[in-house]
Amino acid sequence: MHKNNDTIMPSQLIAQNDHAYVLTFLMSIAMAILLLVALFYRIKKQAAAMAAKRKQQPKLPPGLATMPVVSNMHQMLMNKPVFRWIHRLLDEMDTEILCLRFGRVHVIAVASPEMAREVLRKKDAMLASRPSSFVSRTFSFGYKNTIMSPAGDQWRKMRQVLTSEILSPAMERRMLGRRVEEADHLVNYVYSHCNDGTVDVRHVTRHFCGNIIRKLVFGRRHFNSGDGNIGPGRDEEAHIDALFTALDYHGAFSVSDYFPTLVGLDLDGHEEVVNGLMNTFNRLHDPIIMERIEEWKSLRTKGDKRREVADFLDVLISLEDAQGKPFLSVDEIKAETLEIILATVDNPSNAVEWALAEMVNNPKVMKKAVDELDMVVGRERLVEESDIHNLTYLKACIREAFRLHPYHPFNPPHVAIADTTVAGYMIPKGSHVMLSRIGLGRNPRAWDKPLEFQPERHLKNTGTVVLAEPELRFVSFSAGRRGCPAVSLGTSITMMLFARLLQGFSWSIPPGGDRIELQESATSLQLSKPLLMQAKPRLLLHLYEADVLN
Tell how strand 105-110 and strand 199-200 pair up.
unpaired
- Centroid of chain to Cα 48: 44
> Element (H or E) spanning 548, and its range?
none
Q: Kindly give, in sequence order, each residue whose CB lies less than 8 Å from that of residue 348, ignoring residues fewer than 6 positions away.
A: 205, 209, 490, 493, 494, 497
Residue pair 326/123 in contact by the 8 Å Cβ criterion: no
Vertex 373, ends 548 and 400: CA angle to 5°? 100
Residue pair 214/220 in contact by the 8 Å Cβ criterion: yes
| Strand partners of residue 338 | none
Query: Backbone phi, then psi, for 347, in 5-degree steps?
Result: -65, -45
What whole-number distance in Å separates Cα of residue 516 and Cα of residue 310? 42
Using a 10 angstrom Cβ sphere, with 0-12 exposed, 13-18 middle and 19 or more buried, the burial of residue 299 is: middle
Closest CA to 466 of 440, 446, 444, 494: 494
How much is the CA Rg of the chain, to the nearest whole Å?
A: 33
Torsion 404-189-360-524 (CA) sign = negative
The answer to the question of whether 484 is labelled as a binding residue is yes
| Strand partners of residue 414 | 433
What whole-number distance in Å separates Cα of residue 183 and Cα of residue 416? 42
Provide the 10 A C-beta neighbour count for residue 114.
Answer: 15
What whole-number distance in Å separates Cα of residue 479 and Cα of residue 470? 7
What whole-number distance in Å separates Cα of residue 535 and Cα of residue 537? 7
Residue pair 275/138 in contact by the 8 Å Cβ criterion: yes
Going from the C-alpha of 13 to that of each of 4, 8, 9, 392, 545, the distances in angstroms are 16, 7, 6, 112, 129
Residues belonging to the binding site for heme are 484
Residues belonging to the binding site are 484
